[in-house]
Structure 1
Amino acid sequence: MTLDLNPLPFPRAILFDLDGTLIDSAPDITAAVNELLVGRDLPPFPVETVTTMIGDGMPKLVERAFEASGNPLAGRALEQVVQDMTPIYLRHLTGRSSLMPGVREALAEFHMMGIAMAVTTNKPQRAAREVLLHFGLVDMLGAIVGGDAVSHKKPAPDALLLALERLRIGVEGALMVGDSKADVGAARAAGLPVALVRGGYTQIPVEELGADLVCDSLLQLPSALQALRKAA
């Protein structure tokens, strides 16, 4: 666990990223990408390769997959393949995915403390809600904002600001929790402090992304924030 020297304000609301932060969805995303590729007589990728493509929404995922296969797409051709990917993607949401370490326990603790929580993700809204329902997390959340619910995906601040609007909490009372550069960028653009959790899908070490707090898992986050509260 790494703490910034400046204590964070104790949050009234926490906004969580989904893929790589709450859910290890890489196996399901890999299955969807490979179904799309194999259907076009292209070779499949291992999960380690697809993991490097995750983080900026489904269109970017498709673009990266075809570029890595040696068949780059752009313009209307890319748009068509993204449309073809949508039903495939929606068939591969929960069959191979699992909760990241400490997620259920951390969210339950924050819920008991009365902290409002939301998910802000570049995943499509329908997909995000289905995943969260599958893992039994929806009842602890005050809002779910998918990438298709806003004009600009993370690292733009749109999803974070919409989630806070729905929670009726200002930016001064909130914290973003994620695993990637996009989460840090969105938090900074929204004026929020940000905590990162190791073990997600970033290709850059989390210590180098400029977060205010870095934890080994979400299990550490409640105690880390309690320590910061006492230090503030």
Structure 2
Amino acid sequence: MADFPFEIVGFDLDGTLVDSNRDLGPAVNHALTTVGRPLISQDATRNLIGGGARRMLERAFELTGGELPEDEFESAYGELLVHYEAHIADHTVPYPGCLDALDDLARRGCKLAVITNKIEVYSRKLLDALGMTDRFEVILGGDTLGPGRAKPAPDMIDTAILICGGGRFAMVGDSTFDVKAARNARVPVVALSFGYNDLPAAELGADAVIDRYEDLVSALERL
């Protein structure tokens, strides 16, 4: 629809489009068991997500006894990735209302992008498994553009806008990584209160906060 204020809407993946802690949590715990660390509850692993798998595992080790020597960490990190890839969509699902919201935006002429700090190959594999890949014009992972260019840097947003042919862009996410990336790229951002918030949603600094996907389109219309 010609009067919709945005030509492009970008989405974070974990904790925004999908509830992936259902499979990330078991992968973290698998990695912890390989070095004799205690398991973490599902509720606790939810709070570790953000900034990519490596940072997630670093937080897990901080929580269960402190840092590991580099070689042991790299071995455990490899175990996490192997386990996660093998079980990437066993239990992960899109959030309620997510697919309908994406369809509504597409009907309004929006191009959709995934902008995630998750490794690109795993992002694509997950979206493929959930049948969501074709909804997006571009999928950018934390490693796509190289070191130092993942969120909160603005580069991924700038690149998505370029690939999509330009136009007004809005970001949708659940964490400070998403909000800071949007601020650095000078674009508006909507935060989801039901994601993997690393601060209370009202304190993330987003332009709007929503409690359900059914409110996304109207929130974007008000920006």
**Scaled by the length of structure 1, what TM-score is found?**
0.88
Cα offsets for 1:136-191 (capped at 9, x unmatched): 22111100000111232211112212222221215xx1000001111000001111
1:72 & 1:31 partners in 2: Cα distance?
20
**Partner SS state of residue 72, structure 1:** coil
Match among 19, 25, 30 for residue 24 of structure 1: 19
Q: Which residue is 2:86 aligned to?
A: 91
Shift of 1:77: 4.3
Alignment check: 8 A CA contact 1:184 1:211 kept: yes
Q: Which residue is 1:164 aligned to?
A: 161
RMSD of aligned residue pairs (Cα, Å):
1.7
**Partner SS state of residue 153, structure 2:** coil
Shift of 1:110: 0.7
Shift of 1:76: 4.8
Number of equivalenced pairs: 218
**Partner SS state of residue 117, structure 2:** coil
1:180 & 1:144 partners in 2: Cα distance?
19
**Partner SS state of residue 148, structure 1:** coil
Alignment check: 8 A CA contact 1:67 1:73 kept: no
Match among 182, 186, 193 for residue 181 of structure 2: 186
2:117 & 2:15 partners in 1: Cα distance?
12
Instruction: Tell me which amino acid in the other structure corresponds to 2:27.
Output: A
Instruction: Tell me which amino acid in the other structure corresponds to 2:202.
Output: E
Shift of 1:120: 0.3
Structure 1 stretches lacking a partner, 5+ long: 1-8
Alignment check: 8 A CA contact 2:31 2:77 kept: no
Instruction: Tell me which amino acid in the other structure corresponds to 1:156.
Output: A
- Say if 2:204 is the partner of 1:212: no
Q: Which residue is 2:128 aligned to?
A: 133
* Matches for 1:14-163 after TM superposition, within 5 Å: 14-73=9-68, 75-150=70-145, 151-152=147-148, 153-163=150-160
Shift of 1:41: 2.3
Instruction: Tell me which amino acid in the other structure corresponds to 2:212.
Output: S
Match among 210, 217, 223 for residue 222 of structure 1: 217
**Scaled by the length of structure 2, what TM-score is found?**
0.91
- Identity, in percent, stands at 37
**Partner SS state of residue 112, structure 2:** strand
Instruction: Tell me which amino acid in the other structure corresponds to 2:203.
Output: E
Cα offsets for 1:48-93 (capped at 9, x unmatched): 1111110011111111111211041364543443233321221231
1:130 & 1:115 partners in 2: Cα distance?
23
Instruction: Tell me which amino acid in the other structure corresponds to 2:124.
Output: R
**Partner SS state of residue 110, structure 1:** helix
